Amino acid sequence: MSPRDGGFAGLTAGGEAGEGMVGFERPFVEIDDVSMRYGGAEGTLALRNTSMRIARGEFVAVVGPSGCGKSTLMRLVTGLWPCSAGSVIVAGKEVDGPLSMAGMAFQAPTMLPWRTILQNVMLPLEVVEPHRRRLRADRAMYEEKARKLLALVGLKGFEHKTPHQLSGGMQQRASLCRALIHDPQLLMLDEPFGALDVFTREDLWVELQGVCNILKPTVILVTHDLKEAVFLADRVLIMSARPGRIIAERTVPFERPRSLDITYTQSFQELVHDLREHISAARRGEDLPQPSAGQETPHAA
Ligand SMILES: Nc1ncnc2c1ncn2[C@@H]1O[C@H](COP(=O)(O)OP(=O)(O)OP(=O)(O)O)[C@@H](O)[C@H]1O
């Protein structure tokens, strides 16, 4: 994003790591034969020989039994932890430390209680270069961008409230804005709506879909909610029980934009049911047959 683009232009796909990558067609995220063990040789093997490919701009959901290594995968992709074996490559570069091009949102919105919502949303700009430098030069433009993001998720008028003056759902909306404020090319969402009631959650699916339609980031969403995975994703990856690896995937065939009405259709429910069967089998330590040819995608690892 350029500080001279007036702010809202920054609400479209792009960003520093994309510059000079015209014609960049290799997968945006490449995870090759990754294993991860916590706590040394005798520790917990969280992931074993996991591989996947994610295309630029693709929205991928990762589902699997509890404790199978989904959050671990997120940590490896964002560079918060190094992998024990294998490689993680994002935008053509091996990940060897925290990725500044990633925006993250987790189950708990973790807003700083003494800062206003606007200040919380702008927080990444104070720590992520080159925005930190640019923020000093053009604070008004970045503030405008934060306001526009907040308006996009229905928080216009709440900019100067503090987090405790907002509901859980409103805080989660603000945390999505915070994840998006530095124009991330990669959006990592780890159970972002897990703590919310079903109505708020569904509202936020629609809002997230709308935001992604404008910003077009590459998204990896970890979720236990299979409806959420099918509603939001282009492709759903299913992990085995720990040590986790991808055992199956499903391409989601529904056109965008999707309305919540599709969640009541037979084809939607069949896909959710199919995912549930895979996860039940994974919990029992079984692998179901791989997808038929029509369901495979070119990004499959
Ligand atoms: N910091 C850590 N130190 C040691 N072990 C860890 C650490 N973080 C996770 N683990 C272990 O690694 C395994 C995978 O954990 P992870 O949090 O990645 O799973 P998950 O699929 O995200 O779980 P859930 O669905 O329950 O959120 C678990 O057995 C967990 O106990």
> In testing the pocket of ligand 1, which one of 35, 48, 70 has its CB within 8 Å of the most ligand atoms?
70
Q: What is the pLDDT of residue 236?
A: 98
How many Å lie between the centroid of ligand 1 and the Cα of residue 252?
A: 27
CA of 120: how far to CAs of 76, 117, 261, in Å?
A: 25, 5, 34
Ligand 1, atom 1, residue with closest C-alpha: 38
Pick 162 or 291 by higher pLDDT.
162
Q: Is residue 1 part of a domain?
A: no
Core vs surface per residue 53-78: b (16+ CB within 10 A) or e: bbbbebbbbbbbbeebbbbbbbbbbb
**Is residue 68 lining ligand 1, measured as CB closer than 6 Å?**
yes
CB-based burial label for 182 (10 Å; 0-12, 13-18, 19+): buried
Q: Give me the half-sphere count of Cα atoms (radius 13 Å) on the Cβ side of residue 138.
A: 15
**pLDDT per residue over 30-70, tens digit each?**
999 999 999 988 899 999 999 999 999 999 999 999 999 99
Does the pLDDT of residue 178 top 50, yes or no?
yes
Ligand 1 atom nearest residue 74's Cα: 18
Does the pLDDT of residue 8 top 60, yes or no?
no
Q: How far apart are CA 43 and CA 37, in angstroms?
A: 6
Q: Is residue 156 part of a domain?
A: yes
**Is residue 37 lining ligand 1, measured as CB closer than 6 Å?**
no
Ligand 1 atom nearest residue 224's Cα: 25
Pick 13 or 64 by higher pLDDT.
64
Q: Is residue 79 part of a domain?
A: yes
Q: How far apart are CA 92 and CA 26, in angstroms?
A: 8
Q: What is the pLDDT of residue 77?
A: 95
Q: How many domains does the chain have?
A: 1
Q: What is the pLDDT of residue 9?
A: 42
Does the pLDDT of residue 10 top 80, yes or no?
no
Q: What is the pLDDT of residue 195?
A: 77
Task: Share the mean pLDDT of the chain.
Answer: 86
264 φ/ψ angles, rounded to the nearest 5 degrees: -95, -5
Find residue 61's DSSP bridge partners: 221, 236
**pLDDT per residue over 138-161, tens digit each?**
899 999 999 998 998 889 999 999
Q: Is residue 3 part of a domain?
A: no
Does the pLDDT of residue 293 top 80, yes or no?
no
Pick 158 or 129 by higher pLDDT.
158
Instruction: Name the pTM for this structure.
Output: 0.86
pLDDT band at 289 (very low <50, low <70, confident <90, very high): low
pLDDT band at 224 (very low <50, low <70, confident <90, very high): very high
Pick 264 or 293 by higher pLDDT.
264
The DSSP 8-state label assigned to residue 58 in this structure reads: -
What domain range is 173 assigned to? 8-292
Q: What is the pLDDT of residue 199?
A: 86
**pLDDT per residue over 71-92, tens digit each?**
999 999 999 999 999 999 999 9
Q: Is residue 298 part of a domain?
A: no
Q: Is residue 297 part of a domain?
A: no
231 φ/ψ angles, rounded to the nearest 5 degrees: -65, -40
Q: Is residue 172 part of a domain?
A: yes
How many Å lie between the centroid of ligand 1 and the Cα of residue 74?
A: 11
Ligand 1 atom nearest residue 39's Cα: 4
Token output for 17: 């790591």
> In testing the pocket of ligand 1, which one of 35, 37, 38, 222 has its CB within 8 Å of the most ligand atoms?
38
Q: Is residue 63 part of a domain?
A: yes
Residue 194's CATH number: 3.40.50.300
